Amino acid sequence: MYRVFYYDDIYDQEPVVIHEPNTFGEKLLSGRIKKALNTVSTFEFTISVDNVTYQKVRLLKGLVKVVNTLDNNQEFFGRIYKPVGSMDASGLFAQNFLAEDFLAYLNDSNQMFARVPNRGMRDYFERVIQRHNSVVEPHKRFKIGRVTVDSGSDIPTRYIGYETTWETLREFFIGRFGGYLQLRHEPDGLYLDYLKEVGHKSNTPIKIGENLKEAEREVDVSELITRIVPIGADKEDATIRDDDSGQYVIRERIDIKSVNNGIEYLEDKELIETFGVIQRTVNWTDISAANILKIRGQQYMDNQRVAIANWRVSAVNLNLIDKRYDKFEVGNTHPIINPPLSGVEELQIIELELDIINVQSLELSVGADQQTLSAFQLQQQEAQKSMEAAVAEIERKRKEEQRLTNEINLTVLSLLTKQGELKAYQDELNLAQGELARVNAELADPEGINKSSLEIRRTQLNSQISNLQTSISTINKEITELETKSKELQKELEEVTAE
């Protein structure tokens, strides 16, 4: 299913196949791709001493591509940067490598301090990427793709620090404004999109008893704040407070006490009632007006999210054998159905690990955006209802299984009784038929006596035999019906047990 190519460098037009999914050809000992939102994707693989590239891989220059032969989709393309040689207890030599996709090129440049006017998110994003492009080789440069994230801020100035381009994008963009960085391979080069939303909603469920092997659900409330202390820029007349050694400690900063009845914090009473007081400072270093600072603080509280539901899932990739099931992709949203752990949740795949050798198995990390208090409470209620429904369903199944088992037992008992009756009638029939044969023989003897009494006996035996045959026919019909009923009940029991 997965074919792996090795390129000696970015200009190599004749790559070498280092893993062939068909019976013959080069084979990797192992290979795992790990993809995640806003993260550099990786491919870890192991080659044996017999592989054509053993001891020939070029670090940072060499590239590796993984192609899905079923849909011709490029699952991974990146550079090799971390080798590990090994020998196991049996004396088998191998090389293990870790490759990173081309987003890692953003780690090869740094930014320089800049104070830039706020002309929108695209302009801010372009400045950072243009700086990166100016200091790296042509094949490491990115074209600006779609930018759909809105900063939602009216501050006049933005800043850029000295971090690597990747750290800058993670801290100054994703960390502050959210959104997703996505890499696109196009014929004319690499494109970098900065999107508010990614993926699509899939109707393919991740469902217990269908494609869900193992699951673990975690609800994280570690980022919850129920009371915030908004802190702004340094006060213009602030004095520097020193400790006893004379070393610099901190400057006094703008707070909201002057516009909030002398109280330095804002709180959400409903959150406090549910979770208690959890107080934190929140910094807006670019705001120097207390009234604006309070507005920003209140907006923060109004948009407060209290919890994240995360799943770690081992799933079966049914898309390989049935195209009615969607392919699992990072960013897509799927319903998760596992009643004992939760109600039905529509969650996004945030991380995916696939094994190119054992292609049917997938490891997924599935999570939701942070939930509001009402969403969190609703989810808890739904989970409780789901659990109650699951318990009720288990009890219903238990009772149904017990009913069917009892009915099967009664049917089998009736069957055994009828089989006993059949044997008794057959034995009686055999005796009557034997006696009739004897009577007929005596009547045929010309020297026989008492023929009138024998005629009477023959008539009696014929009547008895006819009645026995009728009874046997009736019992055989009843036995057939009981056997059919027993099979139907057994099938019904198997179906209930398999639910």
Q: Where are the domains of the chain?
A: 2-101, 109-195, 206-221+306-371, 227-302, 383-498
Nearest to 215, CA basis, from 87, 341, 107: 341
Of 336, 296, 380, 114, nearest to 215 (Cα)?
336
**Can you tell me which residue has the tokens 């009696």?**
460
Bridge partner residues of 100 (DSSP)? 42, 79
**What are the pLDDT tens digits along the chain (499 aa)?**
899 999 999 999 999 999 999 888 899 999 999 999 999 999 999 999 889 998 899 999 999 999 999 889 999 999 998 887 666 666 678 889 999 999 999 999 999 999 888 888 999 999 999 999 999 999 999 999 999 998 766 677 888 889 999 999 998 898 888 899 999 999 999 999 999 999 888 888 877 667 766 666 666 677 778 899 999 888 876 555 555 554 545 678 899 999 999 999 999 888 788 778 989 998 887 788 899 899 988 888 876 665 556 667 777 777 777 777 788 889 888 887 765 555 567 778 888 999 999 888 788 887 754 455 445 554 555 555 555 666 677 778 888 889 999 999 999 999 999 999 999 999 999 999 998 998 888 888 777 667 788 888 889 999 999 999 999 999 999 999 999 999 999 988 888 877 6
- Is there a contact between 330 and 349 (Cβ–Cβ < 8 Å)? yes
Would you say the CATH fold of 383-498 matches that of 109-195?
Answer: no
Protein fold of 109-195: Phage tail protein beta-alpha-beta fold (3.55.50)
Give the Å distances, CA to CA, from 465 to 296, 436, 462, 471, 472: 103, 9, 5, 10, 10
Annotation: CATH topology of 383-498: Helix Hairpins (1.10.287)
For 12, the 3-state DSSP assignment is coil
Sheet containing strand 266-267, edge to edge, reads 266-267, 227-231, 279-283
86: left (phi over 0), alpha (psi -120 to 50) or beta: beta
Unique residue bearing structure tokens 């002057």: 258
How much is the pTM? 0.64
